[in-house]
Structure 1
Amino acid sequence: MDKLLTTLDGSPAAHSRITEQKVTTAAYGTGFPEAMGLSSAYDMVHARLAVLSKTLGDQLEAMGITVDLADRGYENVDQEYSDRLNAIQQRTEIYYKKPGTDKDPGVPVEDKGKTGEGSSSGNDGF
């Protein structure tokens, strides 16, 4: 698990690197609605990709923690591990889309400043 996390963190798919990789609105051209529409669509997909990358990293970290806990025994769980797993679980629930619902989790309010995007209102969530 640690090797997977290290590999992810060092790759272009790392959350911090994905949020840095952005195409500006001006790159699509200005003055016509199609360019603005394309820019908006790109921004929405980019924001969701950043969320997906962060969630993947969190899930890999949680899996590594639980594997370590299974090896050591659950009765020896440190509060730090417990708190970390709780934080990952709470963050994951923000993005979770229950099967059979049309609710789109979008990008939560607390991530607007990080990605520059808000949530969309369609059924194109993950």
Structure 2
Amino acid sequence: MGSGDPAQHGGGGGSPSDLDVGDEDNLQGLKKRVDRLLGKLDKSAASHKHIADQKVSKEAFGSFDEAEALSKEYDRIHERLELLSQMLGDQLEAMSLAVGMADRDYKNVDHEHARRLAEIQKRSIANWEKQQKLKQQDEQNKHRKPGDHSGQGGGEESSDQATP
């Protein structure tokens, strides 16, 4: 029937020692892995700072209608990438802080760590709300007819109105 260790049949695909977090070395190992991931993200082109710097100006697309539409779509996607990158970095940092605190059994929690976690939580809530608004805007834009620029710049409700 195979090995006699029932923990190996949990379906998780990892060895039982991969799942054991009661050992101090495992928590420290997890914290080190998360910190390495965060460091790699910060140094990569996917970091929030790098993505923000990789913006293409509207002029680079040209001045005809299709170029303007492409520029607007680029800005829309770029904004979402910045947000997602910020959220990923925040979650990795929060995980690192939480694992470090758990490793110390939450005793003598550094006030700076607690403040930083509260800051990340506040920004995460704001980013989630922003993401929901952007999603709602995307849904509204799906139902807009091509060439209809209503809602973009506070103009008329509909561009189908005849001019006198």
1:105 matched to 2:133: yes
CA contact (8 A) 1:44 1:120 kept: no
Equivalent in 110, 114, 122 of residue 90 of structure 1: 122
The separation in 2 between residues aligned to 1:63 and 1:123, in whole angstroms, is: 32
Runs (4+) of structure 1 moved beyond 2 Å? Answer: 103-106, 119-124
Give the match for residue 109 of structure 2.
77
Matched residue pairs, number?
Answer: 106
Give the match for residue 44 of structure 1.
76
1:105 counterpart SS class: helix
2:45 counterpart SS class: coil
Could you tell me the percent identity over the aligned residues? 45
The separation in 1 between residues aligned to 2:133 and 2:93, in whole angstroms, is: 22
- Report the TM-score when normalising by structure 1: 0.76
Unaligned runs of 5+ in 1: 98-102, 107-118
Equivalent in 116, 137, 159 of residue 121 of structure 1: 137
With a CA cutoff of 8 Å and minimum separation of 6, indicate the structure with the bigger relative contact order. Answer: 1
The separation in 2 between residues aligned to 1:122 and 1:90, in whole angstroms, is: 24
Which structure has the bigger radius of gyration?
A: 2
Alpha-carbon RMSD across the aligned residues, in angstroms, is 2.1
The separation in 1 between residues aligned to 2:101 and 2:47, in whole angstroms, is: 25
Compared CA separation, residues 120 and 17, structure 1 to 2 (3 A): farther
